[in-house]
A and B are shown apart, each in its own frame.
Chain A
Amino acid sequence: MVSTLINANPIIYEKKERRTRTSPPTTNDDYAVEPIDQLEIFDILRDIKDPEHPYSLEELKVITEDAVEVDDHRSYVRVTFTPTVEHCSMATIIGLCLRVKLMRSLPSRYKVDIRVAPGSHATEAAVNKQLNDKERVAAALENPNLLDMVDECLAPSYN
């Protein structure tokens, strides 16, 4: 295990108040398709625990609502996250958590891209490439230690 923390003293931000979801204007039709929106994706991700702190990704501002782009019509989501420090070696674990949570939560028709915010990480291109190579992701998730780490971070996000 890591004996020294990568970022020993992260800044903790307040959680956003949970907005009640407003029903669409025409509520007569129970079978109407309700598109997946930005807030819904953010709600799926906000409670994921940071790999090295007892705080959520929202509390550390690793992800924000604005960092989620969604196009339900095209079944496309892009999440841009901001590691707390530039040399965060946990960035790939955080990215993996985001991808796995979305994989388990969204309909399978969805295409997902995960990336670190431009300029927020020393090896940005390498991290992005790894997170979007599905063969590497599949291999990582067959690694019991990595999968345990991911599951631990995801645990608080299931309600």
Chain B
Amino acid sequence: MERLELKEIQRLEGHTDRVWSLAWNPVTGHNGVPLLFASCSGDKTIRIWEQNLSSGVWSTKAVLDEPHTRTVRSCAWSPSGKLLATASFDATTAIWENVGGDYECVSTLEGHEHEVKSVSWNASGNLLATCSRDKSVWIWEVLPGNEFECVSVLQGHTQDVKMVKWHPTMDILFSCSYDNTIKVWADEGDSDDWQCIQTIGEPNNGHTSTVWALSFNASGDKMVTCSDDLTLKIWESENIGMQSGGGFRHWRHFCTLTGYHDRTIFSVHWSREGIFASGAADDAIRLFVDDNESQVDGPLYKLLLKKEKAHDMDINSVQWSPGEKPLLASASDDGTIKVWELVSQR
């Protein structure tokens, strides 16, 4: 069997406080467009990093140090790669537009009472979701002229909401929380009547502590979640067809991965090639893959690779790149970002 290795390509320095999150621009890395991602930090700034096409070296392309006045907790690119949304502890979400290489803040979304923790664009880029320590999830409609209108405020979580994420193909929203649950939200009917259609909690084989992040596989029929309870859980759903309002609405427990991290797991991300990465407060990165050779019961997941001491401190975010090469970026409390390549050892 071939042995795989996570090879460190570059260690990126620039942030002066912990790096909370990073997001690859989805339209880069193809057709001669250099790879690019954004990172955000406790230093209240967002940095844009780009890879030089000829040298392969990464460098800072821009530092966005306004308008956020507190920690910038997360960031997300619109599907077209033209807009960047950044969520901050200052209770606002900023929208940035790339205008000829310069990033301009074109809109600031206000409304949350406390820290905004996560932001996510839907697949078609016409809806945005945000979540906050105020326990609510907001859905915003993207209107012409960089206008954003709040179309729904979703209440249901009993504690702060750590992350929101849209399904990769359907307009179904997922949120995970300090209240240990994952909630599934959908538009019932045609009147922007968003409702919680499922709550995945402890009684449904759910997590027993804060759920920090979630990610989908490429086809959108599986979801992985990670938690302070030190487990990763895989959930599955079926596309039940349009006659009942579209698929991927009901999720059931598929398997639980225990014993791979010994401190809080903050981040998990599934690649298009079917490998998911996890990053945790134990400073380690783990990669998992579908186990085709497993028992008759059906495929489970096996550990593909473990990278101890990937950073000097907690790992807050791991994200696979959109390009052709299997690149993974990780962001840490040590203030650095590392770009890794998954290579086979000979």
CA distance A139 to B18 in the complex (A): 13
Within 8 A of B (CB), among A78-114: 108-109, 111
B314 with A134: CB separation less than 8 A? yes
A97-139: CB near B (< 8 Å → 1, else 0) gives 0000000000011010000000000000000010001111011
Q: Is B209's beta carbon under 8 Å from chain A?
A: yes
CA distance A135 to B71 in the complex (A): 10
Which residues of chain A are within 8 angstroms of B70 by Cβ–Cβ distance?
A: 142
Partner of A108, one of B115, B117, B209, B312: B312
Which residues of chain B are within 8 angstroms of A134 by Cβ–Cβ distance?
A: 281, 314
CA distance A140 to B44 in the complex (A): 15
Q: Residues of A within 8 Å of B, CB-based: how many?
A: 11
B312 with A133: CB separation less than 8 A? no
B115 with A129: CB separation less than 8 A? no
CA distance A108 to B314 in the complex (A): 10
Residue of A nearest to B133 (CB): A139
B89 with A111: CB separation less than 8 A? no
Q: Is B92's beta carbon under 8 Å from chain A?
A: no
B263 with A139: CB separation less than 8 A? no
Nearest-neighbour CB distance to chain B for A51, whole angstroms, equals 23
Known: A108-B334, A139-B89. A129 touches B209 (CB 8 A): yes
Partner of A129, one of B114, B162, B210, B282: B210
A139 with B209: CB separation less than 8 A? no
Known: A111-B281, A142-B70. A133 touches B42 (CB 8 A): no
Q: Residues of B within 8 Å of A, CB-based: how many?
A: 24
Q: Is B105's beta carbon under 8 Å from chain A?
A: no
B16-42: CB near A (< 8 Å → 1, else 0) gives 001000000000000000000000001
Which residues of chain B are within 8 angstroms of A135 by Cβ–Cβ distance?
A: 73, 117, 162
Which residues of chain B are within 8 angstroms of A111 by Cβ–Cβ distance?
A: 263, 281-282
Query: By DSSP majority rule, is chain B's interface helix, strand, loop, or mixed?
Result: loop
Query: By DSSP majority rule, is chain A's interface helix, strand, loop, or mixed?
Result: helix
A138 with B263: CB separation less than 8 A? no
Q: Is B178's beta carbon under 8 Å from chain A?
A: yes
Known: A111-B263, A135-B117. A142 touches B71 (CB 8 A): yes
Known: A108-B312, A108-B313, A133-B178. A139 touches B71 (CB 8 A): yes
Which residues of chain B are within 8 angstroms of A129 by Cβ–Cβ distance?
A: 178, 209-210
Which residues of chain A are within 8 angstroms of B18 by Cβ–Cβ distance?
A: 138
Which residues of chain A are within 8 angstroms of B281 by Cβ–Cβ distance?
A: 111, 134
CA distance A108 to B114 in the complex (A): 29
Among A129, A135, A138, residue most surrounded by chain B Cβ atoms (within 10 Å): A135
Known: A111-B281, A129-B209, A133-B210. A138 touches B42 (CB 8 A): yes
B87-103: CB near A (< 8 Å → 1, else 0) gives 00100000000000000
CA distance A136 to B177 in the complex (A): 13
B325-340: CB near A (< 8 Å → 1, else 0) gives 0000000011000000
CA distance A134 to B42 in the complex (A): 12
Within 8 A of A (CB), among B192-246: 209-210, 228
Nearest-neighbour CB distance to chain B for A132, whole angstroms, equals 8
Which residues of chain A are within 8 angstroms of B263 by Cβ–Cβ distance?
A: 111
CA distance A100 to B229 in the complex (A): 24
A63-83: CB near B (< 8 Å → 1, else 0) gives 000000000000000000000
Q: Which 9 A-B pairs rank lowest in CB-CB distance, beginning with the nearest?
A: A142-B70, A139-B115, A139-B89, A108-B313, A142-B89, A138-B71, A138-B42, A142-B71, A111-B263
A residues with CB within 8 A of B = 108-109, 111, 129, 133-136, 138-139, 142
Q: List 22 interface pairs A-B (beta carbons < 8 Å), by A numbering.
A: A108-B312, A108-B333, A108-B334, A109-B312, A111-B281, A111-B282, A129-B178, A129-B209, A129-B210, A133-B210, A134-B281, A135-B117, A135-B162, A136-B133, A136-B160, A138-B71, A138-B89, A139-B71, A139-B114, A139-B115, A139-B133, A142-B71
Known A109-B312, A135-B117; 17 more pairs at CB < 8 Å? A108-B334, A109-B313, A111-B282, A129-B178, A129-B209, A133-B210, A133-B228, A134-B281, A134-B314, A136-B133, A138-B18, A138-B71, A138-B89, A139-B71, A139-B89, A139-B114, A139-B115
